[in-house]
Amino acid sequence: SIKMDLLHSNGVLIIQHLQRDYKAYQDFLNFMSYVGDPRNIFSIYFPLWFQLNQVVGTKMIWVAVIGDWFNLIFKWILFGHRPYWWVQETMIYPNQSSPCLEQFPITCETGPGSPSGHAMGSSCVWYIMVTAALSYTVRWKDKSAVTLHRLTWSFLWTIFWIIQISVCISRVFIATHFPHQVILGVVAGILVAEAFEHTPAIQTASLRMYIKTNLFLFIFALGFYLVLKLLDIDLLWSVPKAKKWCANPEWINIDTTPFAGLVRNLGALFGLGLGINSEMFVTSCKGKNSCKIGFRILCIAASLATLQLYNFIRIPTHTEYLFYILSFCKSAAMPLTVVALVPYCVHSLMRTAEKKHN
């Protein structure tokens, strides 16, 4: 449609402007893309927050998973093009004068482009972190504290917006998103996070509840995919485009296909449910050690270290089904490690040390 073409071509002008005038900031922008990567939620933000505040940590995984699931459904409904292939395929540029957009190793995402998953994941998780941090300052009652609360409020929300805008600019700079797609992502992420501010039930969810939620999310997504397939709408239409127009075939990543993200998220939610409802968790995180600051710091350090090791586990990508099964298991192992395995080991070590001491 003419309106979309206009939106896209204006978007391309913005991308060209960024790539031309902000080339010096390329490393910073690539780094911000990494900061906004939804996968960091599970390997960095969650282990930190879960030991500081279990309510916030639990909410974080729920929001990340449900947010990313909505992102997938929206992507399937909106059929958003990505700039790096759109400029090659559109007919609006006369006689082969399509604009030249630079590509980077992280440009060639294979899913549809709208709304941006990075912008959505980043905004929903940072929104939760900021509101959680501010909920601590609300309790300060005296006069000077009110001023301090206001300053903290301004400071944290400024940080929030600096991060969101940087992530958005970085996604546009590398030509993987149009500006309207990242804006849509930020708004959608905030809405999902805000919705979870009002759902206390997730804090007391049983393992059955986690499994039911997982099944619902999986069956709905799969059903949606199959129904559209019956209607002759191919939801993986973006994958061949990505493969065709990516400057370097090695940059294509199976990790970014729609189902890879879904499986990763379902794994994480299942792992969290398994961990929170395990004996290990009850013994260690609900025991007398859990109040000690030393216990928490050890848990954070050990969790972060262990999760970095998971990054070295490369899942074979040649067989798709095997890739999905192993991806699910790896994703489930991460929250399980943070919630149950690491605290239990730390707890046992501390108990042994105490016995020796006595």
Indicate which residues carry an active-site annotation.
118, 177
Measured from the Cβ of residue 224, the count of other Cβ atoms closer than 10 Å reads: 15
Helix (H) or strand (E) holding 39: helix 39-40
Structure-token match 């399980």, residue found: 336
* CA-based R_g, the chain, Å: 22
Encoding tokens for residue 84?
A: 């790096």
Q: Considering only CA atoms, which of 242, 167, 171, 184 is closest in space to residue 14?
A: 171
Helices 143-173 + 26-35 axis angle, to 10: 110
Task: Give, in degrees to the nearest 5, the angle at Cα 36 between 35 and 41.
Answer: 85
208 annotated to bind ligand: no
Residue 90, helix vs strand vs coil: coil
Check whether 82 is labelled as a binding-site residue: yes
Distance CA 292, CA 290 (A): 6
Measured CA to CA, the distance from residue 279 to residue 340 in angstroms comes to 8
Q: 51-57 contacts: CB < 8 A, separation 24 or more?
A: 51/296, 51/297, 51/299, 51/300, 51/303, 51/343, 52/296, 52/300, 53/132, 54/285, 55/203, 56/128, 56/129, 56/132, 57/338
Residue numbering of the annotated binding site for substrate: 82, 171
Residue numbering of the annotated binding site: 82, 171
